[in-house]
Amino acid sequence: MFGALLNYSQKNQTITLQYEKQNVQLQVLTDKIVNVFVPLTSTVHRSKAVEGDKELPTSFSLSKEADHLVLSTESLICKIYDDFKIDFYSKYGNEETLLCADYRGQRIPRFELQESFIEFIKQEGHNLDTAGNQNYPVQCVKKLDKGDCIYGLGDKTGVLNKRYYEYENWNSDIPDPHEDSFKSLYKSVPFFITLKEKGVYGIFYDNTFKSYFNFGKENDNYYSFGSDDGNLDYYFICGENMPEIVSGYTYLTGRMPMPQKWTLGYHQSRWGYDSEETFRSLAAKFQECRIPCDALHFDIDYMSHYKVFTWDTERFSDPHKLISDLKEQGIKAVTIIDPGVKVEKDYYMYEEGVENDYFAKSPDGSIYVNAVWPGDAVYPDFGNPDVRKWWGEHLNFYTDLGVSGIWNDMNEPASFNGPLPDDIIFTDEDKASTHAEIHNVYGHNMAKATYEGWKNLTGKRPFVITRACYSGSQKYTTVWTGDNQSLWTHLRMAITQQCNLGLSGIPFMGTDIGGFGADTTPELMARWVEVGCFSPLFRNHCAKGSMNQEPWLFGEEVLDIYRKYVELRYSLLPYFYDLCRESEQTGMPIIRPLVLHYENDENVRNLNDEFLVGEHLLVAPVVEQGVRKRMVYLPEGVWYDYTSHTKYQGNQFYIIDAPLDVCPIFVKAGTILPKAPAQMYVGEIENPELILEVYPGAGSYTHYNDNGEDFAYRDGAYNEYLFKTDGNRHLEITKVHEGYRDYPDIVINYV
């Protein structure tokens, strides 16, 4: 590829290899992470995902063999051959295991279509893509072994294990029902984990241009990743197990900061809630139906003519009063903000942006205009730090009204007048850039602007939701999976999508409960809340023009089921909060595929319809119409049914009853589950007691608590408790850290 190796040199932890046609750098970041950098378009990394210097002092050795260099850390060996082929080995238990080898053979696509046939079949409207012959200017091809499974890659559709599928990273707003065959959705997270029969590794391919991933669809013997432009810049991450890979990746790209507690409550939303009366009656109805609720979302209908940073005061006579009245009932307001700024004389966001040169431009230097909801609109250039600051400061429009969180939409960026051309000029921090390079990080930069602005204005932990994002966005925002539909296939997909997002470093996510587009049914509503109550972002949302989806619209039975699962969620809030803490510290997701903790169990490598919440709860929901019993696989150990407390031996399949009001949930033996008393919203009880549900078996559990609002915990204002049970109805409580008020009581319930 680059000719022969002429020379190599080492400076601290960076090794520079001089090939005939190209210099290459390898950097040892930790004993488990090595970066491979081929500076094709810029001499330095221009990462949006990795912030700050991630190199830790690491001892390693470097030696030259006949035809390769050997780089060896405590955990891995990297052999760099003189033809720039690289092989990575792990070194666990004094055993060298080849994990990841560059592919050396010919590329042989498994099938190719003739051009003439493609033309012919297109006449009927078929949309054929030619697999194979996929060569990109930036590219890497690696060996696949029998049994390799591939996970991650963010919010892609389809099954959990991505082997045999191909994907693209190009943030896309596609209104059609999301199909398994879609190659892109709203987010670009170029990170994946390869689980082998023996061993596991991760690759983070840090390139923001349109990128391609072919995980063995082209050929069973290799997989490839590549892009249209940019550098070949990837990180090899090894570890003893999958959690260590996730932790390595989030070490690099950052972890989710603690959210405010209320954000873990229930949220109600709909595109079309368009007046003050609507919001007031919603709040009243939640009270009347005794369904806890922490937030109502204001979609684009609150704005005047879809102008961001404005409020329609005809339909909302006094937004400030409305929002504070809602807050008195415990309900927080979350407002949507799209990036597109309406082109309109005397509209302050437009005028200020024009004056300060804050919008993206055409190559001829004029401001680039496309269209979104407000009609003709321009795109704030969020890659420019001044634009982020400007946008962030203007958020005081919302904080002054008492708004509690911001929902960023349309930030792929979406456009109604055809896609933005690749050569539209944006800024990448300190240099001019193009839409081709910035597209996939547009949402990321917008979320960053929102997070930083909100934090400055309020001093509280910002609550941001975004539709589009990139690797590392978890530092600034939560996500939702965009416009799903009221389809059973989309309820099924909610599981795999959320599991893969979690493995990709993004722990706080949710799907639109009930489905966004199309019309839901009572049964689908019931089954969706049974899954959705475990999503960190627990939000019912749907589209204007589709059937309303408030919980009380489907009859008594569904309302009771709905209430049961919202109440379940509120009772588990201390557990969810602990999982957030774990996520901030280690990068572990909240919703987890079983394979994350049981990677050696063949039965879970392709398990698409069960998931874990933390390590202790296993959820096996019904995601099929009409089904009232389902097969459940329980991995090794002993498990207890959450409701009946029936005991099950793991490593077995069971047929479990699941009438419409039952979502099968299992608790691992030895679990000490922290729970809260019932509340209509977070904080209704000023300082609720803690309830510990102690399951048979020995175990220990770390519990965390703080004020749930600001950053005081970073200065030590939190409590941490260690609970230990020997399995004989005995519990030991140790306070490991004290910096916050105590519980009025800790109630212990033995199962």
Which residues here bind ligand MIG, judged by CB under 6 A? 271, 299-300, 336, 409-410, 467, 482-483, 516, 541
Q: What's the first-to-final CA gap in the chain, in angstroms? A: 63
Q: Could you tell me how many residues make up the chain?
A: 751
Measured from the CB atom, is 201 or 463 closer to ligand MIG? Answer: 463
Let me know: does 514 contact 520? Beta carbons within 8 Å.
yes
Task: List the structure tokens of 590.
Answer: 């909240």
Nearer to ligand MIG, 36 or 410 (CB): 410
For 474, the token pair is 């978890």
Structure tokens that stand for 460 in this block: 């509280």
CA–CA separation, 520 vs 542, rounded Å? 10
- Quote the distance between the C-alpha of residue 594 and its chain's center: 17
Q: How far apart are CA 398 and CA 490, in angstroms?
A: 33
State the minimum distance, in angstroms, from the CB of residue 373 to ligand MIG. Answer: 7
Verify cis geometry, omega within 30 degrees of 0, for the bond prior to 413: yes
Residue placing its CB nearer to ligand MIG in the complex, 68 or 297: 297
Neighbours of 317 (CB within 10 A): 10
Q: How far is the CB of 329 from ligand MIG (least distance, A)?
A: 24
Please name which of 36, 47, 1 lies closest in space to residue 22, comparing C-alpha atoms: 1
- d(Cα 519, Cα 486) in Å, to the nearest integer? 6
Give catalytic residues, as residue numbers. Answer: 409, 412, 483
- Asked whether the beta carbons of 620 and 607 are under 8 A apart, the reply is no
Report CA-CA distances (Å) from 352 to 37, 357, 391, 485, 651: 40, 8, 11, 38, 63
* Minimum CB distance to ligand MIG, residue 272 (Å): 8
E strand residue ranges, 102-152: 138-143, 149-152
Q: 459, 710 in Cβ contact below 8 A? A: yes
What does the block give as tokens for 579? 């999982």
Closest contact distance (angstroms) between CB of 186 and ligand MIG is 8
Q: How far is the CB of 490 from ligand MIG (least distance, A)?
A: 14
Measured CA angle at 406 (ends 402, 409), to 5 deg: 145
- Strand pairing class (478-480; 509-510): parallel
Q: Is 36 helix (H, G, I), strand (E, B) or coil?
A: strand
Cα–Cα distance for residue pair 588/615, rounded to 1 Å: 10
Please answer whether residues 224 and 141 qualify as being in contact, where contact means their C-beta atoms are separated by less than 8 angstroms: yes
For the bound state, the minimum distance from the C-beta of residue 483 to ligand MIG, rounded and expressed in Å, comes to: 5
Whether 640 and 650 have beta carbons less than 8 Å apart is answered as no
- Residue 339 has, within 13 A of its CA and on its CB side, a CA count of 33
Name the nearest CA neighbour of 404 among 395, 392, 393.
Answer: 395
Nearest alpha carbon to residue 648 among 638, 657, 663, 658: 638
Give the integer Cα–Cα distance in Å for 255 and 250. Answer: 6
Distance of alpha carbon 274 from alpha carbon 526, whole angstroms: 26
Smallest gap, in angstroms, from Cβ of residue 300 to ligand MIG?
A: 4
What would the 3-class secondary structure string for 593-639 be? CHHHCCCCCHHHCCCCCCEEECCCEEECCCCCCCCCEEEEEECCCEE
How many Cα neighbours within 13 Å face the side chain of 168? Answer: 15
Antiparallel, parallel or unpaired: β 149-152 and 431-434? unpaired
CA distance 598 to 635: 7
Residue whose C-alpha is closest to residue 307's, from 275, 350, 277, 361: 350
Count Cβ atoms below 10 Å from residue 457 Cβ, excluding itself.
Answer: 17
Q: Which residue is nearest to ligand MIG (CB)?
A: 271
Q: In a 10 Å sphere around its CB, with 0-12 CB exposed, 13-18 middle and 19+ buried, how is residue 407 labelled?
A: buried
CA atoms 190, 195, 198, 200: torsion sign: positive
CB 499 within 8 A of CB 149: no
- Rounded Cα distance between 251 and 398, Å, is 33
Q: How far is the CB of 349 from ligand MIG (least distance, A)?
A: 18
Residue indicated by tokens 């901030």: 584
